[in-house]
């Protein structure tokens, strides 16, 4: 439970996340307007009495002590009506506002003139938001206003006139300008990433950031928004669809596969989404992996299968699918072009000998000698403290890098010999226990460290004459890296054939940003400042333009589609909603 005190002009709101907020006046008197409502309870006009009763029922729980005191002082008829209001309010957690009973309070903020903006969940766990005025009317606001201030969402800001408020919305929606008289949204910020509101001027100019300052690159840049001013920012077209999970893949033809929340598993061909007949009715997709010739491997609930054209091969488990289709799986998912290489790991791949390496549900390798338990074998080879986290194929997969959770404790190089796993220790010193593995188009791996290490596709390994963190390899074989020490985190070095060719500055770059290449001499970097487009001219990369992506936040995963799209997925809110964003790359 969290408790907050929100001080305003003549009192303070005291609120917690699991109980009714209360309003306390500094002079111990009743809130302004309450006495007038109590007098209306005894009015001769029935409509006046009804309006007063409704207004007091909305506020009865946080005005309980004052109402109890007023009942003792009022005439018998008015006292009876006050007691009825208190009885209707009840004593359980949550409180009645109109037809809604808020069971949990998510966000509260004092807005001045005794008003409180409150967002909570009703019994059905739906968001509801209200503006409450002690002793006065209370209104429900637009249901899209979800206010939960915290580490990524700031407090709301009241405009100079006091009749409107800028509200940062949860679930990464656009910050909204709320009319406090009507409860309607009358404006929004153009970019949903800017949910930390910094300040507002008397003329309505709003200053906002993508994160709480000081927060390094994550709290930059700052947006200066002037309502009604001409927008001269270049926007990249984005199409967003709600998906049932974060699982998606880009097939060998560039088509995007995902389980849409509204229609099930579907395929995007660059123009429209079409349901996949072979997977009609499949729900709960947790894994989609693209093969080299149009194949798609999937898991959906307890179902597992591989789609190839109009045919679907199914099995009870992923292990069983591999056992029954070993050669087909190894051919469809070669190590030379693994799908899902993100964060230094892959889902599965086949090596040149036809062995199939599997990450889930447990790390195993299926060989002619049967299943080999990677976890068990690495304990024997690396010691009892060796805890496997992931594996990455080198080159064609004849060698595989096996990393443990603490990379600084050492990694192993695995091979299959006569159906059995054998291991060699990797001689390399990682920097700051940070593991970064970037794979180039030929399959060589570059590892972070005081000196970068290249694990060659041909079995030849070498230490490079530079240290730092490898971030990306483009289609021309250039390695983009952040050198050590990190004196200038936005400045990268571009290396090729073991030599540095130039320095490149990527505005507001941080460790979570995504790189893609859509062809020779063309690289895109997605940061908080937007989508930066770099083109190579006369042998050197230049930043030619930055495009804004209004619907795209911090991507969980990003993949390039040959249809001309950057495909990103992000997770929204605590209920686990996912959004798939198709960014049309500018040319």
Q: Are residues 215 and 250 in the same domain?
A: no
Count CB atoms within 10 A of the CB of residue 15.
23
Structure confidence at residue 17 (pLDDT): 47
Distance CA 421, CA 375 (A): 11
Residues 353 and 496 reside in one and the same domain: yes
Instruction: Looking at the structure, tell me whether residues 185 and 244 fall in a common domain.
Output: no
Using CA atoms of 78, 79, 85, 89 in order, give the dihedral in degrees to the nearest 10: 170
Q: What is the pLDDT of residue 32?
A: 61
| Contact between residue 527 and residue 519 where contact means Cβ atoms under 8 Å apart | no
Q: How far is CA 312 from CA 358, 396, 566, in A?
A: 20, 27, 28
Say whether both 568 and 545 belong to one domain: yes
What is the C-alpha separation between 58 and 401, in angstroms, rounded?
63
Give every CB contact of residue 516 below 8 A, 6+ residues apart in sequence. 523, 524, 558, 559, 560, 566
C-alpha torsion sign, points 99, 103, 104, 110: positive
Question: Residue 3: its pLDDT value, please?
Answer: 44
Q: ω into residue 468 within 30 of 0, thus cis?
A: no
Q: Has residue 468 been placed in a domain? A: yes
Model-level pTM? 0.71
Looking at residue 58, what is its pLDDT? 63
Residue 230 within a domain: no
Q: What is the CATH number of the domain that holds 440?
A: 2.130.10
> Under a CB-based contact definition with an 8 Å cutoff, are residues 349 and 338 in contact?
yes
**Antiparallel, parallel or unpaired: β 420-425 and 437-439:** unpaired
At 2 the pLDDT is 44
The answer to whether position 105 is within a domain reads: yes
- Please report the pLDDT score of residue 372 as a whole number: 96
Residue 89: what pLDDT? Answer: 64
Read off the pLDDT of residues 461-497 as tens digits, 9 standing for 90 and up. 998 888 888 999 999 999 999 886 655 778 999 998 8
- 205 and 317 together in one domain: no
Asked if residue 184 belongs to a domain, the reply is yes
**Within-domain flag for 231:** no
Q: Are residues 529 and 556 in the same domain?
A: yes
Taking only the tens of pLDDT, the chain with its 587 residues reads: 444 554 555 555 555 544 555 555 555 566 666 778 888 888 888 888 887 887 777 666 666 777 887 888 888 888 888 888 887 765 544 556 656 677 667 777 777 666 778 787 776 767 788 887 765 567 888 877 777 766 567 888 888 778 889 988 765 578 889 888 888 888 888 777 788 899 999 888 999 988 787 666 567 778 888 887 877 778 888 888 989 888 899 999 999 999 999 989 999 999 999 999 999 888 999 889 999 999 999 999 888 999 998 899 999 999 999 999 999 999 999 987 765 444 345 688 999 999 999 987 889 999 999 999 999 999 888 887 888 888 999 999 999 999 887 766 778 999 999 999 999 998 888 766 567 888 988 889 999 888 889 999 888 899 888 888 899 999 999 999 988 665 577 899 999 888 888 999 998 887 667 899 998 899 999 887 789 999 999 989 999 999 887 656 657 788 899 999 999 987 765 455 788 999 999 87
The domain boundary residue, chosen from 204, 225, 246: 225
Nearest-angstrom CA–CA distance, 524 and 547? 10
Q: Does 166 share its domain with 307?
A: no
**Is there a cis peptide before residue 485, judged by omega within 30 degrees of 0?**
yes
H/E stretch holding 327 reads helix 326-332
423 shares its domain with 564 = yes
In this structure, the answer to whether residues 360 and 466 fall within a common structural domain is: yes
Say how far apart CA 490 and CA 507 lie, in whole Å. 6
Predicted local confidence at residue 134, as pLDDT? 61
Backbone angles phi, psi at 533, to 5 degrees: -110, 120
Count the domains in the chain: 2
Q: Which residues form the domain of 373?
A: 238-584
Q: What is the reported pLDDT for 30?
A: 64
Instruction: Tell me which of 161, 195, 225 is where a domain ends.
Output: 225
> For residue 558, is it within any domain?
yes
Same domain, 249 and 360: yes
Residue 386 lies in a domain: yes
Res 9: pLDDT: 54
The SS3 call for residue 19 is coil
What gap in Å lies between CA 291 and CA 337, rounded to an integer? 9
Q: Which pairing describes strands 22-25 and 95-97: parallel, antiparallel, or unpaired?
A: unpaired
C-alpha angle 349/354/360, rounded to 5°? 35
**pLDDT one-digit tens code per residue, 289-345:** 999 999 999 999 888 999 998 899 999 999 999 999 999 999 999 987 765 444 345
Establish if 486 belongs to a structural domain. Answer: yes
Chain centre to alpha carbon of residue 283: 22
Q: Do residues 215 and 355 share a domain?
A: no
Position 587 scores a pLDDT of: 72
How remote is the C-alpha of 142 from its chain's centroid? 24
Interatomic CA distance for residues 412 and 421, integer angstroms: 11
Q: How many helices (H) and strands (E) does the chain have?
A: 7, 47
Residue 345's φ and ψ, nearest 5 degrees, are -150, 160
Q: Among 225, 249, 283, which residue terminates a domain?
A: 225
Backbone torsions φ then ψ of 96, nearest 5 degrees:
-85, 130
C-alpha 540: how far from chain center: 34
Nearest to 433 by CA among 467, 408, 469, 452: 408
Kindly state whether residues 242 and 220 are assigned to the same domain: no
Report the first-to-last Cα separation within the chain, whole angstroms. 51
Question: How many CB atoms neighbour CB 278 within 10 A?
Answer: 16
């Amino acid at each position: 439970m969290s408790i907050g005190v929100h001080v305003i002009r003549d009192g303070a709101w005291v609120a917690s996340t699991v109980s009714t907020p209360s309003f306390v006046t500094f002079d111990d008197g009743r809130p302004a307007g309450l006495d007038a409502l109590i007098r209306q309870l005894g009015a001769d006009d029935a409509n006046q009495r009804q309006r007063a009763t409704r207004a007091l029922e909305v506020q009865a729980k946080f005005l309980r002590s004052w109402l109890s005191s007023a009942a003792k002082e009022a005439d018998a008829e008015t006292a009876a009506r006050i007691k009825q209001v208190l009885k209707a309010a009840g004593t359980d957690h949550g409180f009645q506002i109109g037809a809604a009973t808020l069971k949990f309070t998510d966000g509260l903020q004092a807005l001045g003139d005794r008003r409180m903006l409150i967002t909570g969940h009703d019994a059905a766990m739906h968001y509801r938001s209200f503006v409450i005025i002690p002793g006065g009317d209370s209104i429900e606001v637009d249901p899209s206003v979800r206010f939960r201030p915290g580490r990524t969402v700031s407090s709301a800001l009241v405009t100079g006139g006091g009749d409107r408020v800028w509200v940062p919305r949860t679930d990464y929606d656009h910050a909204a300008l709320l009319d406090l008289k009507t409860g309607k949204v009358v404006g929004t910020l153009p970019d949903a990433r800017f949910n930390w509101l910094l300040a507002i001027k008397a003329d309505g100019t709003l200053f906002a950031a993508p994160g709480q300052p000081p927060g390094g690159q994550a709290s930059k840049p700052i947006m200066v928004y002037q309502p009604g001013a001409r927008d001269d920012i270049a926007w990249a077209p984005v199409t967003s669809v709600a998906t049932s999970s974060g699982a998606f893949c880009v097939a060998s033809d560039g088509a995007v596969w995902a389980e849409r929340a509204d229609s099930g598993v579907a395929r995007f061909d660059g123009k429209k989404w079409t349901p996949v007949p072979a997977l009609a009715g499949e729900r709960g997709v947790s894994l989609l992996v693209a093969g080299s010739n149009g194949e798609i491997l999937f898991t959906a609930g307890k179902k597992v299968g591989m789609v190839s054209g109009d045919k679907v091969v199914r099995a009870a488990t992923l292990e069983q699918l591999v056992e029954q289709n070993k050669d087909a799986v190894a051919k469809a998912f070669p190590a030379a072009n693994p799908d899902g290489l993100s964060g230094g790991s892959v889902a599965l791949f086949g090596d040149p000998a036809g062995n199939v390496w599997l990450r889930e549900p447990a790390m195993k390798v299926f060989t002619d000698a049967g299943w080999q338990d990677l976890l068990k074998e690495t304990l024997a080879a690396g010691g009892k403290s060796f805890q496997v986290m992931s594996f990455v194929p080198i080159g064609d997969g004849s060698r595989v890098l096996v990393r443990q959770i603490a990379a600084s404790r050492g990694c192993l190089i695995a091979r299959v010999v006569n159906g059995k796993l054998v291991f060699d220790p990797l001689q390399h010193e990682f920097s700051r226990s940070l593991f970064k593995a970037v794979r180039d188009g030929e399959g060589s791996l570059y590892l972070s460290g005081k000196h970068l290490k290249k694990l060659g596709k041909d079995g030849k390994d070498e230490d490079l004459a530079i240290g730092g963190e490898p971030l990306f390899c483009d289609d021309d074989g250039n390695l983009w890296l952040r050198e050590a020490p990190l004196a200038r985190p936005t400045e990268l070095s571009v290396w090729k054939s073991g030599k540095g060719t130039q320095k490149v500055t990527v505005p507001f770059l941080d460790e979570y940003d995504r790189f893609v290449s859509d062809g020779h001499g063309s690289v895109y970097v997605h940061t908080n400042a937007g989508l930066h487009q770099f083109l190579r001219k006369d042998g050197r990369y230049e930043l030619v333009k930055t495009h804004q992506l209004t619907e795209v936040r911090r991507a969980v995963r990003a993949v390039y589609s040959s249809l001309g799209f950057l495909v990103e997925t992000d997770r929204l809110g605590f209920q686990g909603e996912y959004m798939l964003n198709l960014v049309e790359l500018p040319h």
